[in-house]
């Protein structure tokens, strides 16, 4: 083999290895979603065939796909109620979060100086205090407030992690706005407060949008608090209702259950993906000194 | 020298009207005003429950009543000799460490693959992020179905491929249940670590690698002597996040095994939930959860160190 | 309190960051309508000084007066009657050129019709009338600079502050922009403070130059005076390219002379009063219009290199390696104190 041909071969092999690795990672990541998809649309006789029956290949549709599980989900379960609950709770939490986190993020980025940096790190560390450490005292606080089994409990509690997280995120975004522009506006005749309103907020709109999306997804992700505070099935969120209330004893609900998982996860994942770059940018902009 | 029209009358009048500074100019007061709501909220709803968590651990408080009986070290003396508790501590450490080691290896490899240019890179990245974006409880329930005792697709595949001959009861055997739980944690956390590592990689100047190539360094030397040391701070951050999310997670264990079989897979979070909320013994639950605190303190300290080192580096 | 003499008056101004004295006791008086250039190396405190005048930075101590009124920390930037052009131009990225220029007028709550007239007038002056609908990222560097200038002039400020506004332009554009800027300033007659580290810009633009180093003003004067009679060795070497030759003599004095006043002995007319040095020629650079001769004087105490900047009219053959006799007219010689570095009076300055 000539050296040139060998080099070409090496290149081709490398290329193949690259694609094989990419494929392996992708399959690992995607396979549960594919399984949700299959389960959601398979007929029961295709679905509930024991795994020891080696002649029946579970990875494909052996019988024509069906909509019966999806119909069951929408018609005979409380899925849509849970979606509505989640959206309402999410919207309320987003409003509270933005009202608190946007001003705080700006103050930490621009106004608070040296101790602002320390305070920023402190705020970030509170995000690391996990729900599993706080759900027990919270259950007592919620009892004090008389909010057991009320969605208000979640609306009050969720900002405890969305606010620190979004404050940190907004701090990063505000730091990435050039100082010059704000100082120019102050010289052009505006007070600091007016500069925030007329320059900083319009320029930070993409950051605010990112914070909104992530506050909402954090709400959707929660399982612990919902499990602790809410026991009435019609008041549950999707993240709680689907895994806890869709399973009924020994009746096989897997088709509808997986349909619910799929229908809930995919839109979130798509939106999440759209914002992930801005999100990383915000996080790292906060980490690097401005 | 000055032209007569220089200052228009309107402008001059106005200059007088807003001469002095107001609250809107006072940056110190604005800072306090803008920070106060967020800080108060966090202090009231993270700080107070945090202190309450400490207090409850020393109390005989029970769910459903508002009594608060001081019992001293009683809760700790009860749980520390408890084999279930010891098992939970060991499991928390084990699940966290094993899954995070696997996450690092997978994330660095995946980041390397994704940093190479190839057709379909964007779609691969999109798909890789799915596990992290999907709500964790829903993902966990999907995995429960994948590991089902009668219909597991993994078992079918293993049998067909000849990996195993016997039927694997994933949640019926402590060792298999451990594998299942770690698999789900790895699956969920590695996309996040990949994205962070990738961001770190793109911040390494291309010239450094080019210089290393010119100096005759091969792939492995470049990986271990150039790229990994440069990536270390950002990988540390990813791992620390991973440690927090994994060690404190309740939903995976709760939905996969409920701590079973024979209470062999309980972690601190799930045990705290079982004792505190299901069992109604808030005091004991709080005491169990409190053992997460050392992990968090270590993580916080390491996080601050990394941040400071990165600061010195820039 | 003494009535301030200049239109902008700065008295004993300090700004300390911890142990660092960024501005360390500056006294400066800027006359009405004058263009004063603050010149100095980076970190000399010139930008901090300007930012204190603008109100973006609070002085540690000292006073600032504009138009006879004291401007203290209670007067926010918006109320100081100044306009500033940043090095980055600091255009608002989410606003069109029109909205950018109109922004300071809106702060004054000027009527929309009047705003429109003013903006269009300013834009026309800078030849950007056709670009008013564009956003900053759709404009070239030169166009952005013009938008920034329009925004500065549109509201008739009492003082202009310029922070290296030309350094983002390429070399050719910069020369034109410098000319236009000076013309604009003369026409408006607005008192102007201009910060730069570029001595060519400073010499070309300034009515007067204030040379700064280490937080202090080293010398203030017309470009000619500062160049010809530097107050100390810092100013002597900071201004001029190549810098002034400094040569330590016996008898506790440093002699200084400009390279362009340093000639081969052959071109000196008999009878001219000159000082002579024997120079071992190390290197020669041909730069087109001039020729630079680098050499070491014989019998010098320390390792010092002198430079002669010969115009192409001087055709005396000089070769690298030879020893050649050079001369300086005595009236071009400056003398400095070797310890303090300050100029010793020859009765010249």
Pinpoint the alpha helices (H) of chain C: 46-54, 97-107, 112-125, 141-153, 171-188, 199-205, 223-228, 233-238
Q: What percent of chain A has pLDDT over 90?
A: 50
Task: With a cut of 90, say whether residue C116 has pLDDT above it.
Answer: yes
Distances (CA, A) of A54 to A31, A57, B117, B153: 20, 7, 40, 11
B56-65, B156-165, B276-285, C42-51: which has the minimum mean pLDDT? B56-65
CB contact under 8 A, A30 and B250: no
- The residues, ordered by sequence, that sit 6+ positions from C104 with a Cβ below 8 Å of its Cβ are A188, A189, C83, C151, C154, C155
pLDDT at B164: 84
A-chain residue closest to B38, CA distance: A100
Residues in chain B with CB shorter than 8 Å from the CB of A137 are 49-50, 52-53, 56, 286
User: Where does residue C299 fall: left (phi above 0), alpha (psi -120 to 50 degrees), or beta otherwise?
Assistant: left
Closest of B269, B297, B283, B260 to residue B79, by C-alpha? B283
- Peptide bond just before B261 cis, omega within 30 deg: yes
pLDDT at C129: 92
CB contact under 8 A, C78 and A191: yes
Residue A191 three-state SS: coil
Rounded distance between C-alpha atoms, residue A46 and residue A65, angstroms: 9
Higher pLDDT pick, A198 / B238: A198
pLDDT at A249: 57
Identify the top-confidence range among B201-215, C55-69, C293-307: C55-69
Q: Token pair for residue B285?
A: 């639950």
- Per-residue pLDDT tens over the stretch A120-145: 888 888 888 888 889 999 988 888 88
Mean pLDDT of B175-203: 90
Q: Are A246 and A260 in contact (CB under 8 A)?
A: yes
Mean pLDDT of C318-335: 92
Mean pLDDT of B33-40: 93
Residue among B35, B137, B250 whose CB faces A239 most closely: B137
pLDDT at A283: 63
C-chain residue closest to A199, CA distance: C92
Count CB atoms within 10 A of the CB of residue C246.
Answer: 18
Q: Token pair for residue A180?
A: 């010059």
Residue among B2, B3, B14 whose CB faces C108 most closely: B14
pLDDT at A252: 65
- Per-residue pLDDT tens over the stretch C180-224: 999 999 999 999 999 999 999 999 999 999 999 999 999 999 999
Closest of C52, B9, C30 to residue A187, by C-alpha? C52
Residues in chain C with CB shorter than 8 Å from the CB of A183 are 54, 56, 77, 84, 86, 90
Work out the pLDDT band at B6, boundaries 50, 70, 90.
Answer: very low
Quote the minimal CA–CA distance from C78 to chain B in Å.
Answer: 8
Rounded distance between C-alpha atoms, residue A108 and residue B27, angstroms: 12
pLDDT at C217: 95
- Per-residue pLDDT tens over the stretch C251-268: 788 999 999 999 999 888
| DSSP string covering C138-183 | GS-HHHHHHHHHHHHHTT--SEEEEESTTTTS-HHHHHHHHHHHHH
Higher pLDDT pick, A116 / B85: B85
β-sheet bridge partners, residue C255: C247, C335
Q: What percent of chain C has pLDDT over 90?
A: 74
CB contact under 8 A, B35 and A112: yes
Rounded distance between C-alpha atoms, residue B183 and residue B139, angstroms: 12
B155-164, B225-234, C172-181: which has the minimum mean pLDDT? B225-234
- Per-residue pLDDT tens over the stretch A225-234: 999 999 999 9
Residues in chain C with CB shorter than 8 Å from the CB of B3 are 188-189
Q: Are C12 and C27 in contact (CB under 8 A)?
A: yes
Q: What is the CA radius of gyration of chain C?
A: 24
Mean pLDDT of B92-118: 91
Rounded distance between C-alpha atoms, residue C9 and residue C191, angstroms: 12
**Please, what is the end-to-end C-alpha distance for chain B in angstroms?**
50
Residues in chain A with CB shorter than 8 Å from the CB of C56 are 183, 186-187
Task: Determine how β-strand C263-264 pairs with β-strand C253-257.
Answer: unpaired
Q: What percent of chain B has pLDDT over 90?
A: 38
Closest of C251, C259, C299 to residue C279, by C-alpha? C299
- The residues, ordered by sequence, that sit 6+ positions from C123 with a Cβ below 8 Å of its Cβ are C97, C98, C101, C129, C131, C132, C150
Specify the DSSP class assigned to residue A55: T
Residues in chain C with CB shorter than 8 Å from the CB of B17 are none
Closest of C256, C263, C249, C267 to residue C326, by C-alpha? C263
C229 touches chain A (CB under 8 A): no
Residue C295 three-state SS: strand
Rounded distance between C-alpha atoms, residue B115 and residue B109, angstroms: 10
Rounded distance between C-alpha atoms, residue C327 and residue C257, angstroms: 11
Q: Which C positions 41-80 lie with beta carbon below 8 A of chain B?
A: 74-76, 78-79
- The residues, ordered by sequence, that sit 6+ positions from C198 with a Cβ below 8 Å of its Cβ are C164, C166, C167
CB contact under 8 A, C156 and B10: no
Closest of C80, C72, A193, A103 to residue B25, by C-alpha? A193
- Per-residue pLDDT tens over the stretch B106-139: 999 999 888 887 788 888 888 888 898 899 999 9
Residues in chain B with CB shorter than 8 Å from the CB of C156 are 5-8, 11
pLDDT at B10: 42
Distances (CA, A) of C30 to B79, C37, C259: 79, 10, 32
CB contact under 8 A, B18 and C79: yes
Record the pTM.
Answer: 0.86
Rounded distance between C-alpha atoms, residue B241 and residue B228, angstroms: 19
Chains in touch with B (3+ beta-carbon pairs under 8 Å) read: A, C
A-chain residue closest to B124, CA distance: A26
Lateral strand order in the sheet of C8-17: C20-30, C8-17, C61-66, C69-70
A-chain residue closest to C90, CA distance: A181
Quote the minimal CA–CA distance from C135 to chain B in Å.
Answer: 27
Residue C223 three-state SS: helix
Q: Token pair for residue C77?
A: 């930037």
B-chain residue closest to A15, CA distance: B118
Q: What percent of chain C has pLDDT over 70?
A: 97
B6 touches chain C (CB under 8 A): yes
Query: pLDDT tens, position by position, for chain A (290 residues)?
Result: 688 888 888 888 888 888 898 899 999 999 999 999 999 999 988 888 887 888 888 898 988 999 999 998 898 889 999 999 999 999 999 999 999 999 999 999 888 777 777 888 888 888 888 888 899 999 888 888 889 899 999 999 999 999 999 998 899 889 888 999 999 999 999 999 999 999 999 998 988 998 999 899 899 999 999 999 999 999 999 999 998 888 665 566 889 999 999 999 988 888 888 887 777 766 665 444 33
A258-262, B195-199, C16-20: which has the minimum mean pLDDT? B195-199
């Amino acid at each position: 083999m000539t050296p040139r041909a060998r080099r070409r071969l090496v290149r081709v092999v490398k290329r193949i290895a690259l694609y094989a690795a990419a494929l392996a990672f992708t399959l690992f990541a995607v396979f549960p979603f594919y399984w949700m998809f299959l389960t959601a649309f398979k007929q029961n006789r295709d679905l509930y065939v024991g795994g020891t029956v080696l002649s029946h290949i579970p990875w494909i549709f052996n019988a024509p796909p069906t909509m019966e599980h999806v119909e069951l989900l929408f018609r005979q379960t409380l899925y849509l109620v849970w979606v509505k609950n989640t959206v309402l709770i999410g919207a309320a939490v987003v409003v509270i979060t933005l009202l608190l986190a946007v001003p705080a993020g700006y103050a930490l980025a621009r106004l608070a100086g040296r101790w602002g940096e320390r305070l920023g790190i402190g705020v970030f560390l509170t995000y690391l205090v996990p729900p599993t450490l706080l759900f027990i005292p919270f259950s007592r606080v919620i009892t004090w407030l008389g909010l057991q089994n009320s969605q208000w409990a979640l609306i009050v509690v969720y900002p405890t992690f969305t606010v620190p997280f979004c404050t940190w995120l907004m701090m990063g975004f505000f730091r990435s706005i050039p100082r010059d522009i704000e100082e120019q506006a102050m010289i052009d005749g505006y007070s600091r407060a007016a500069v925030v309103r007329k320059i900083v907020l319009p320029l930070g709109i993409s950051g605010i949008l990112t914070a909104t999306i992530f506050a909402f997804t954090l709400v959707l992700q929660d399982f612990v608090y919902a499990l602790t505070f809410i026991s009435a099935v019609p008041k549950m969120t999707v993240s709680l209702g689907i895994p806890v209330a869709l399973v009924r004893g020994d009746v096989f609900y897997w088709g509808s259950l997986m349909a619910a998982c799929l229908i809930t996860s995919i839109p979130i994942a798509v939106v999440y993906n759209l914002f992930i770059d801005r999100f990383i940018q915000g996080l790292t902009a906060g980490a690097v000194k401005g | 020298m000055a032209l007569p029209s220089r200052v228009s009358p309107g402008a001059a009048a106005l200059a007088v009207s807003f001469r002095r500074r107001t609250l809107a100019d006072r940056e110190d007061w604005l800072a306090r005003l803008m920070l106060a709501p967020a800080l108060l909220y966090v202090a009231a709803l993270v700080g107070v429950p945090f202190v309450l968590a400490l207090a409850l651990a020393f109390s005989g408080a029970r769910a459903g009543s508002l009594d608060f009986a001081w019992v001293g070290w009683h809760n700790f003396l009860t749980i520390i000799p408890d084999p279930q508790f010891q098992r939970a501590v060991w499991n928390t450490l084990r699940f966290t460490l094993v899954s995070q080691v696997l996450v690092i290896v997978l994330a660095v490899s995946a980041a390397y693959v994704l940093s190479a240019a190839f057709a379909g890179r964007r779609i691969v990245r999109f798909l890789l992020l799915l596990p992290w974006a999907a709500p964790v409880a829903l993902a966990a329930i999907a995995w429960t179905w994948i590991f089902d005792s009668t219909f597991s697709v993994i078992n079918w595949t293993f049998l067909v491929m000849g990996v195993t001959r016997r039927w694997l009861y994933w949640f019926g055997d402590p060792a298999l249940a451990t594998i299942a739980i770690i698999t789900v944690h790895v699956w969920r956390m590695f996309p996040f670590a990949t994205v962070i590592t990738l961001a770190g990689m793109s911040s390494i100047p291309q010239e450094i690698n080019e210089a290393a190539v010119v100096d005759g360094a091969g792939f492995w030397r470049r990986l271990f002597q150039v790229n990994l040391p440069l990536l270390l701070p950002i990988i540390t951050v990813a791992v620390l996040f991973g440690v927090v999310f994994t060690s404190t997670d309740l939903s995976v264990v709760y939905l996969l095994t409920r701590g079973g079989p024979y209470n062999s897979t309980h972690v601190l979070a799930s045990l705290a939930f079982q004792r505190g909320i299901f069992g109604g013994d808030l005091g004991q639950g709080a005491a169990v959860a409190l053992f997460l605190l050392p992990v968090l303190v270590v993580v916080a300290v390491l996080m601050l160190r990394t941040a400071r080192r990165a600061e010195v580096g820039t | 309190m003494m009535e301030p003499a200049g239109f902008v008056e700065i008295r004993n101004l300090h700004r300390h960051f911890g142990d660092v004295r960024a501005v360390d006791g500056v006294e400066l008086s800027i006359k009405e309508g004058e263009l004063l250039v603050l010149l100095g190396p980076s970190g000399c405190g010139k930008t901090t000084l300007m930012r204190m005048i603008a109100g973006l930075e609070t002085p540690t101590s000292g006073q600032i007066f504009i138009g006879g009124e004291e401007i203290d920390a209670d007067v926010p930037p918006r109320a100081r009657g100044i306009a500033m052009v940043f090095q980055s131009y600091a255009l608002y990225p989410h606003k069109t050129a029109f909205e950018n220029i109109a922004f300071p007028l809106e702060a004054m709550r000027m009527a929309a019709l009047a705003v429109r007239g003013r903006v269009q007038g300013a834009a026309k002056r800078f030849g950007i009338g056709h670009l008013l609908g564009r956003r900053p990222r759709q404009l070239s560097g030169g166009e952005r600079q013009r938008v920034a200038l329009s925004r500065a002039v549109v509201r008739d400020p009492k003082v202009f502050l310029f922070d290296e506004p030309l350094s983002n332009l390429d070399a050719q554009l910069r020369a034109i922009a410098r000319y236009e800027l000076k013309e604009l300033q003369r026409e408006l007659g607005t008192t102007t403070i201009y910060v730069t580290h570029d001595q060519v810009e400073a010499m070309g633009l300034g009515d007067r130059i204030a040379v700064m180093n280490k937080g202090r003003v080293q010398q203030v004067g017309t470009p000619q005076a500062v160049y010809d009679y530097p107050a100390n060795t810092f100013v002597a070497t900071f201004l001029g390219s190549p810098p002034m030759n400094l040569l330590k003599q016996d008898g506790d004095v440093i002699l200084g002379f400009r390279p362009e006043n340093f000639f081969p002995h052959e071109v000196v007319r008999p009878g001219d009063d000159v000082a002579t040095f024997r120079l071992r020629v190390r290197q020669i650079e041909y730069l087109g219009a001039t020729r630079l001769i680098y050499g070491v004087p014989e019998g010098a105490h320390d390792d010092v290199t002198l430079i002669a900047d010969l115009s192409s009219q001087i055709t005396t053959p000089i070769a690298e390696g030879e020893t050649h006799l050079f001369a300086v007219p005595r009236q071009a010689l400056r003398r400095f104190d070797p310890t303090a570095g300050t100029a010793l009076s020859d009765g010249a300055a």
